[in-house]
Amino acid sequence: MGARICALLATASVAAVLCAGPVHAQDAGLRGAVTDDQGKPLKRKRPADASQDQATDADTQNQAEDYQPASPGAVPDKPANASASLFSEPPNADDAFANDAGPLQALPPTTARDRAKARREQLAGRQQPANAPKKTPAPEQDETTTGTVRQQTVDFEGSEDNGPESARQAAIEGRKPQPELNPYDPTGIRFGTFVLKPSLEQGVTATSNADSSSDGKSAILSETTLRLNAASDWDSHSATVDAYGNFRKSVSGQEVKDVTGGIDGRLQLDLAEGMRALARLGYNVRPESATSPVVIIGTAERPTLQTFNGSLGLEKDVGKLRFGISGEAVKESYGDAALSGGGTLSQKDRNSTLYNGRLRIGYEVSPALTPFGEIQFGRRIYDLRFDTAGFERSANQFAALAGVEIDMGEKFGGEISAGWVGQTFDDGRLGSISAASVAADLRWSPMRGTIVTLNGTTSLEGSTSAGESGSVLYAARLGVERQMRANLTGFAAAGIGWRDYAGSTDHDLSLSAEAGLTWWLNRYTGLTGRLRHETFSSTLSNRDSTTNSVFVGVKVQR
């Protein structure tokens, strides 16, 4: 009895399996849900007039088309004579749950690689002509990755995703590089917060008067000049340093050997509330000029003059008013003069120090013009109270000036003034000196590449001659510098000096003119040449002289 029951149960199980309806792979969860283009699952439509029994019979008799994935090769191709398996969908056109729109659609591409591939296929389909023969697609390569593939970021927008039309296009008109205005100017050397611009000039000078004296002889001189300019590169405040040195030595002709040099430093501090502090310190050494008002008889060479100077000042702007006050000290020291017959002559009685104070008040009538008035008071003190002739030459100096400051940017700037200067001595035997004063420091650029300068000074000079108070010297110089070409620069200058001796009708007149050219071979090396003429005439005996000189050399700058 038990065996019969077991056989009956086995027969019923087999019959149930064979008669059961096919199960869709999607319903069984063996394959993912079929979705539309928006990722939503597709719903099967059931006709309203169809009954449950009819749907079941249709599922049993017909078979639907096999599901084809978007990627060919994902499911092996089924042979034509293969029979339906348990997991296949039976083709049945009358299936109540079939999609009326046709076969089920493939899943949309979900990776960057699939999207790029679909994009390329879409563009290829657009660009292919309608009458072009269809090409048989090449068999797909196995792109199975066995390693780790670097994924792009979410916001990555490559040329593959966006298409070739997304490539950045170049501008139709590019901006041309601007040519350098001064391609032969020195580039300078960075030294901390300063920019250094050194230059070296070496050449030969042929002159008709080696020492510019009344009895000077011709000579050929070797001349070397070294210059250095340093300027600060600060956000506020400013500082500059200018230094030079010149050495001359005779190659042939009259024996000459002299050294000239100097250094000048300036500092400006921008303080609070429109106040500025100014400081200056300088030093200069040179042989005394043969045109000096002090005549030393019987000397082989002129004494060396050393000058030390320093000043401090404050400037303050209050509305349109400009206030300035400063103090200055100038020390002059003379070396001993070498005598023609041997030995030296002391010049200590000429050494002195000048202390001078200035007060200036101006009013800005416009941004370009500021008229001003200035008063000065100073005291000159000699190292020796009495000179070799027994005169006490220490004196008080004073000056009153009126002028105007000009500031038109790079076009025109500087200042010009006129007034009166005077000096009274401690020794009553020496008469006071007073004269009109004119001063100018102007810079004008009428056109690009051309600079015109005008400098003028009025100074009081001392004397060591017995009974003489000194002299007043007026000096002026006009210069023009022109950049003829980018690598060719020329200059010309003319100067005049007039000296009036106090208490007499004697006077001196000096005239000078010079011109020069510099041709730059490159930014660092150039050839230079100069011509110079000097004439000095005096009402005093044995003072007249004429000097002509030519210089040719090489200039190196950095």
Give me the residue spans of the domains in the chain.
23-42+49-64+88-102, 199-557
Average pLDDT, the chain: 79
Instruction: For the chain, state the CA radius of gyration.
Output: 51
Query: Does the pLDDT of residue 65 top 60, yes or no?
Result: no
Query: Does the pLDDT of residue 64 top 70, yes or no?
Result: no
Which residues are CB-neighbours of 427 under 8 A, at least 6 positions away? 391, 392, 393
Across residues 397-412, what is the average pLDDT? 94
Across residues 389-417, what is the average pLDDT? 93
pLDDT at 25 (0 to 100): 43
| H or E element in which residue 332 lies | strand 321-334
In 3-state terms, what secondary structure has residue 496?
strand
Tens digit of each residue's pLDDT (9 = 90 or more) over 363-377: 999 999 999 999 999
Across residues 507-511, what is the average pLDDT? 95
Query: Does the pLDDT of residue 19 top 70, yes or no?
Result: no
pLDDT at 53 (0 to 100): 46
**CATH architecture assigned to 199-557:** Beta Barrel (2.40)
- The length of the chain in residues reads 558
| Cβ count within 10 A of residue 405 | 18
Q: How far apart are CA 480 and CA 452, in angstroms?
A: 5
**Concatenated DSSP letters of 387-426:** -TTS----EEEEEEEEEEEEE-TTSEEEEEEEEEEEEEES
The closest of 246, 285, 236, 248 to 264, measured between CA atoms, is 285
Question: Both tokens of residue 233?
Answer: 């590169």
Q: How far apart are CA 133 and CA 131, in angstroms?
A: 6
Tens digit of each residue's pLDDT (9 = 90 or more) over 74-133: 454 444 444 444 444 444 444 444 444 444 445 555 566 677 677 777 666 554 544 545
Residue with the larger pLDDT of the pair 414 and 117: 414
Between the alpha carbon of residue 51 and those of residues 94, 96, 101, 141, 254, the distances in Å are 12, 9, 21, 48, 138
Across residues 423-429, what is the average pLDDT? 92
In 3-state terms, what secondary structure has residue 200?
strand
pLDDT at 296 (0 to 100): 79
Whether pTM > 0.75 for this model: the answer is no
pLDDT at 59 (0 to 100): 47
Confidence of residue 6 (pLDDT cuts 50, 70, 90): low
Query: Does the pLDDT of residue 514 top 70, yes or no?
Result: yes
Phi, psi of 422 (to 5 degrees): -155, 165
Q: How far apart are CA 516 and CA 481, in angstroms?
A: 10
| Cβ count within 10 A of residue 75 | 12
Residue with the larger pLDDT of the pair 315 and 126: 315
pLDDT at 426 (0 to 100): 93
Across residues 245-273, what is the average pLDDT? 93
pLDDT at 172 (0 to 100): 58
The one-letter amino acid code at 279 reads A
